[in-house]
Amino acid sequence: MKYENIKDFYERCETHPDHQTGMISYRMIERRLQEEIEELRQYIEQRDWQTLDDAEYQEILAKLGDGGLLAFYILVEAKLREKNI
């Protein structure tokens, strides 16, 4: 999964120079975490998520056999991860 808009430690320090000096208050951390949560929320909302079609569900069911519900869940999750990378 690609996170092009997510900043690493060094990019955060460039954006927020107080991080370099160690002069960080609890409020600054809380505010920055809220900003990052909002950035992640926007990324998730703008992403074009792929779903499974009927043929893919049938393929999974054919692989399932007598594996039960947990196996079905695991196979569906694996297929969705494959499609959404």
In a domain, 65, yes or no: yes
Query: Domain count of the chain?
Result: 2
Q: How many CA atoms lie within 13 A of 62 on its CB side?
A: 6
Give pLDDT tens digits for 38-85. 988 888 888 787 888 888 888 887 877 766 777 888 888 888 888 887
Torsion of CA 5, 11, 15, 16, to 10 degrees: 120
In a domain, 22, yes or no: yes
Give pLDDT tens digits for 5-51. 666 666 766 666 655 556 667 788 888 889 999 988 888 888 787 88
Same domain membership, residue 61 and residue 34: no
- pTM for the model: 0.37
Q: Residue 76: which domain range? A: 54-83
Same domain membership, residue 40 and residue 19: yes
Q: How far apart are CA 12 and CA 59, in angstroms?
A: 45
In a domain, 41, yes or no: yes
Vertex 41, ends 43 and 33: CA angle to 5°? 115
